[in-house]
């Protein structure tokens, strides 16, 4: 592993492996809805789309055809806190692939005709998400628990903001956020080191620092009951608790706690709510982690006739967790965590993504062995402490989407269940 910082503060990491016949390159930018305003909400995601429409050297078709003719793959996605562009190609084609990728990002043409066309695409994407009750439930949940913060805004933006964007908006935003202090470039696999560095310098060496590093304000968790009616066969429910940010020391005990509680077929929630009672098809728990904020979520989808029983049983399991969790639960969960980590890292794109994410948000590489060592050190007492600290039913937020009951009815169910 080689970490290089260019004269303009752009960080580059190279992980060369001669035993494979392909390479994967990625560009991370600290740009997402977390850093937007109500007026430009969705612009980070729109930029992710619009750069594929053409650069100063290539049309959108030439970008697509150029990747196809060398058998390369290119894609991108936007989160609330970063945008990630990446390409994968055979070792002897990777320089051609990154030339296209870097050109798209650094020299987008931003034609108004392309912008208008892509508005239609993104408005359809918004409509698609609005038709998916699970997406709606997830977005409503985050909008509610992070109310008053940009972290509560949707990644896609709104119909109004998306429809309002012009070339000027994109150029002003990219000048502020597509800057070296908010960017990471990484390459892993089989490639020529010096040739790759020359290509990176060619496209990004002239970028200037703008004194706009990745920064954030801490965000408080807001509890409440949040409902949205939709014409669906099932109701989608999310129980959320205040959690931890990305860099918190309680991460590994809490991850073990989540595995025991609701991740996987042997978890407490899955065994009781699905296998024994047959109330849901699936039930899950996970951690939502951001810079300076986070939450714990338990989600399920079920028919209206099963809601009260499922909610009550779920709360009972949360209430009794610290009394019922065992050493065996902890050991199984730790093994599952380690196994999933190692298996995911054997995928080049997953490995690259983890490395870039680590450098962007932690300022260093967190090696797999360090993570595994911390997981192995988690003890039963650590899991119990984490559960007592974070699974506070009195501070829980409740979100439901679908053929929902009244707010008073849900409050009654919750109050009776919590006691």
Judge residue 338's burial from the number of C-beta atoms within 10 Å of its C-beta, 0-12 exposed, 13-18 middle, 19 or more buried. middle
- Cβ-Cβ contacts under 8 Å for 292 (sequence gap 6 or more): 216, 217, 218, 219, 245
Q: Residue 2 catalytic?
A: no
Rounded Cα–Cα distance for residues 85 and 101 (Å): 8
Structure tokens at 121: 């695409």
What span, in angstroms and rounded, lies between the C-alpha atoms of 168 and 110? 9
Give which of 66, 41, 40, 42 is closest to 52, Cα–Cα: 66
Enter the tokens of residue 85.
């562009």
Sign of CA dihedral 261, 263, 269, 272: negative
Looking at 2, 36, 39, 48, which residue is catalytic? 48
Contact between residue 50 and residue 63 where contact means Cβ atoms under 8 Å apart: no
- Which active-site residues does the annotation give? 48
């Amino acid at each position: 592993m080689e970490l290089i910082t260019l004269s303009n503060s752009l960080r580059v990491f190279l992980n060369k492996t001669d035993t494979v016949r392909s390479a994967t390159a990625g560009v991370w930018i600290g740009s997402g809805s977390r850093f937007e305003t109500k007026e430009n909400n969705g612009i980070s995601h729109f930029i992710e789309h619009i750069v594929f429409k053409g650069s100063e050297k290539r049309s959108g078709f030439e970008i697509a055809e150029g990747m196809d003719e060398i058998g390369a793959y290119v894609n991108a996605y936007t989160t609330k806190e970063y945008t990630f562009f990446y390409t994968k190609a055979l070792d002897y084609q990777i320089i051609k692939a990154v030339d296209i990728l870097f050109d798209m990002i650094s020299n987008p043409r931003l034609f108004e005709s392309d912008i208008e066309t892509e508005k239609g695409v993104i408005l359809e994407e918004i409509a698609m998400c609005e038709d998916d009750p699970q997406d709606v439930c997830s977005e409503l949940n985050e909008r509610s628990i992070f109310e008053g913060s940009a972290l509560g805004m949707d990644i896609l933006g709104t119909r109004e903001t998306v429809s309002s964007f012009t070339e000027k908006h994109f150029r002003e935003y990219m000048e502020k956020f597509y800057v070296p202090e908010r960017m990471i470039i990484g390459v892993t696999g089989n490639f020529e080191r010096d040739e790759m560095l020359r290509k990176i310098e060619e496209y990004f060496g002239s970028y200037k620092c703008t004194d706009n590093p990745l920064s954030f304000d801490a965000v408080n968790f807001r509890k409440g009951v949040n409902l949205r009616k939709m014409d669906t066969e099932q109701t989608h429910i999310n129980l959320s608790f205040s959690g931890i940010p990305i860099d918190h020391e309680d991460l590994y005990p809490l991850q073990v706690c989540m595995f025991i509680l609701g991740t996987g077929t042997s978890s407490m929630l899955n065994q009781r709510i699905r296998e024994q009672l047959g109330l849901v098809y699936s039930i899950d728990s996970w951690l939502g982690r951001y810079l300076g904020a986070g939450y714990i979520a338990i989600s399920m989808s079920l028919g209206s006739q099963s809601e009260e029983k499922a909610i009550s049983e779920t709360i009972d399991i949360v209430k009794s967790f610290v009394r019922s969790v065992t050493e065996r639960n902890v050991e199984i969960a730790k093994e599952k965590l380690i196994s999933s980590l190692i298996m995911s890292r054997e995928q080049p794109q997953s490995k690259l993504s983890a490395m870039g994410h680590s450098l962007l948000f932690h300022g260093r590489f967190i090696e797999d062995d360090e993570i595994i060592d911390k997981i192995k050190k988690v003890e039963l007492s650590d899991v119990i402490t984490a559960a007592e600290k974070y699974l506070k039913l009195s501070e829980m937020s409740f979100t439901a989407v679908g053929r929902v009951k009244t707010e008073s009815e849900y409050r009654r169910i919750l109050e009776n269940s919590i006691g």
